[in-house]
Amino acid sequence: MRIVHASTLATLLCLLSITAHADPPSTIHPNLWPEIHPPKLHDAVLEARLDTLLSQLTLEEKVAQIIIADTNSASPEDVRQYHLGGILTGGNLGPVKNEPVPAPAWLVAADEYYAASMDTSGDKHAIPVLWGMDAVHGHNYIKGATLFPHNIGLGAARDPKLVRQIAQITAAEVRITGHDWSFAPTLSIVQDPRWGRTYEAYSDRPDIVRRYAREMVLGLQGKPGAKDFLRGAHVIASAKHFVGDGGTRDGRDQGDNVDDEAELRDVHAAAYPIALEAGVQTVMVSLSSWQGQKLHGHAGLLRDVLRSRWHFDGVVVGDWNGHEQLPGCHKASCPTAINAGIDLVMAADAWRDFHANTVSQVRSGVVPMARLDEAVRRVLRLKLRAGLFDAGKPSTRALAGEWRRLGSPAHRAVARRAVRESLVLLKNAAHLLPLKPKQSVLVAGDGADNVPKQCGGWSLTWQGRDLKNSDFPAAQSIYEGIRSAVTPAGGTAVLSPTGDFSVRPDLAIVVFGEEPYAEFFGDVPTLEYQAGSKRDLALLRNLRAQGIPVVAVLLTGRPLWIEEELDAADAFVVAWLPGSEGGGIADVLFARPNGSRAFDFRGRLPLVWPRGPRAGRDGDVFDYGYGLRYGSR
């Protein structure tokens, strides 16, 4: 028999008791988080009105206020019956049935939903419904809207003033169709570009994200305390996804972030305090986990940090059926999420049963009435703050129905400037760029005349797939931009996606890259571009082999391993996902037709660009901040 030394035994026992009492790894220590003081918006008159209203509502009405449903599953008639707190349009093609519609149909629908929510038959109380949309790069679900470069491109532009303007324009276009709320900005700090939402993030580090958080929130919502805060040309913003979504293991969407608490606070959460101080009124909860615990049930972060430590008095909104991922929950039932601090549950399609189940959970005390009241209070406070009770129907509000302003030349000019500023020049051998416009240019690659591809996901539909150029009225493809840059100067642009030609060109511009995707559809196991096929590499090499100088333009939502493509091109430009204004690319590639200089490159990598197929920061990379200028080689 082995003799265990008494002191060893004591140590063992001590260790055992520590493990037994140790907090789970997902425990938060709120006092280690900085205290935040958002602008004081307290208004006694508003609070009194809120108290009165709250005291009049039935349990059913209260529960309805904490639910947001997708317009594909909740019709105006449903809103009339239930008086839901909010509706959202996910990736639907149209506001009611999933059919593509012209922009004015959205405003008609906004009036219908609003009227339904104000209907007082059956002794219901008139409470205006909130309508939220993912206006994440402009009002991107609306035909004819201005589509800005996705966030990763704005990160490259390093231009906070421009971002403020983009937010203002987006808010204005959202108002034109009668909507109240945009699910933006995304404040993720992306750590592994294999993540399918990399392009929704501005950067892989907090610096840019913090600066932009402020500009986006102020641009969308206006200044807290000002007369036009959340109204007029402004909308409600949403900081998302709280928190740690950009740091999940292997870049897996909705995965687990295992960084320690300090890293969560100092990196992933870094931009939230700035957004709160700028007055952001809603925070959307992440579908991911931290240390194994889903954020939708994380009271430590939602309640103890966001509410108590950060004094956030706006609405904590759940993400799409996010509650169903909690233990013991499903789409149509989740007291845990409500109790953990979610005020508005995105029960997107199962809202009806969610309503019935929550009503009985409040009756049985599983969801305390006080918690329900708190959530309702926050939702109603937001509606009062935004002036929705007194705003009249959406079509009568500021900017509504001003179709001339939707995708107006002035708005598009700002988007085009954003494209110019976002471009990053990785290579410019023998100073091939800038180009003289008086040349014969072959414009090749399947991205050359492909507006859906240059817009990426979250464009007209969730995934941005199966669309044509004509679905984006007034947008300009990259080829069209090149053609209008060279033609007035006496040059020619010939479109040839496959790179074939009958008359030998002076040079070729090859536009290629990723197909559109959104969210987990975009998760990839490797960053290698076109692993297996290498079709575009062959195209570049083929042109090069014929002695034709080649300019490569890459459309991408993330850094890719493109080492061979880089070698096969004389000049290499990362254009990210530039959106509707493809002309911004020719603006930088070509000198003006009148002979004056081209715009110079301004973009700098907003994240490390690996020079290998694996993600991560090791090995050979283009560093954060890399980006050539015409003055440099």
Residues acting as catalytic residues? 319, 519
- Least gap, CB of 150 to ligand BGC (angstroms): 13
91 touches ligand BGC (CB under 6 A): yes
Of 12-20, 85-93, 121-129, 329-337, which part binds ligand BGC (CB under 6 A)? Answer: 85-93
Upstream peptide bond of 243 is cis (omega within 30 degrees of 0): yes
- Least gap, CB of 312 to ligand BGC (angstroms): 18
Is the CB of residue 140 less than 8 Å from the CB of residue 464?
Answer: no
Among the listed residues 60, 111, 115, 320, the single contact to ligand BGC using CB under 6 A: 320
Q: Which of 317, 197, 203, 314 is nearest to 245 (CA)?
A: 197
206 touches ligand BGC (CB under 6 A): no
Nearer to ligand BGC, 174 or 287 (CB): 287
Strand order in the sheet with 345-346: 181-182, 130-133, 86-89, 67-70, 345-346
Is the CB of residue 289 less than 8 Å from the CB of residue 14?
Answer: no
Nearer to ligand BGC, 71 or 291 (CB): 71
Q: At what angle do helices 409-422 and 160-176 cross, to 10 degrees?
A: 140
Q: Which of 358, 370, 215, 195 is nearest to 288 (CA)?
A: 195
Helix H or strand E segment including 88: strand 86-89
Of 22-30, 87-95, 268-276, 478-486, which part binds ligand BGC (CB under 6 A)? Answer: 87-95
95 touches ligand BGC (CB under 6 A): no
How many other C-beta atoms can be found within 10 angstroms of the C-beta atom of residue 622?
Answer: 19
134 touches ligand BGC (CB under 6 A): yes
- Least gap, CB of 615 to ligand BGC (angstroms): 21
Q: Can you read off the two tokens belonging to residue 151? A: 């966030």
Restricted to residues 4-63, the positions that interact with ligand BGC (CB under 6 A) are none
Nearer to ligand BGC, 106 or 183 (CB): 183
Helix H or strand E segment including 365: none
90 touches ligand BGC (CB under 6 A): yes
Outline where 140-196 has alpha helix (H): 151-157, 160-176
CA 119 from chain center: how many Å? 34
The residue count for binding ligand BGC (CB under 6 A) is 11
Restricted to residues 456-515, the positions that interact with ligand BGC (CB under 6 A) are 462
Count CA atoms closer than 13 A to 500's CA, side-chain side: 2
Nearer to ligand BGC, 194 or 604 (CB): 194
88 touches ligand BGC (CB under 6 A): yes
Among the listed residues 114, 183, 354, 622, the single contact to ligand BGC using CB under 6 A: 183
- Least gap, CB of 142 to ligand BGC (angstroms): 15
523 touches ligand BGC (CB under 6 A): no
Q: Which of 189, 328, 333, 198 is nearest to 263 (CA)?
A: 189
Among the listed residues 61, 180, 261, 319, the single contact to ligand BGC using CB under 6 A: 319
CA 431 from chain center: how many Å? 36
Of 36-44, 83-91, 435-443, 557-565, which part binds ligand BGC (CB under 6 A)? Answer: 83-91
Q: Which of 317, 324, 361, 313 is nearest to 59 (CA)?
A: 361
- Least gap, CB of 295 to ligand BGC (angstroms): 12
How many other C-beta atoms can be found within 10 angstroms of the C-beta atom of residue 55?
Answer: 8
Q: Which residues bind ligand BGC (CB under 6 A)?
A: 88, 90-91, 134, 183, 240, 287, 319-320, 462, 519
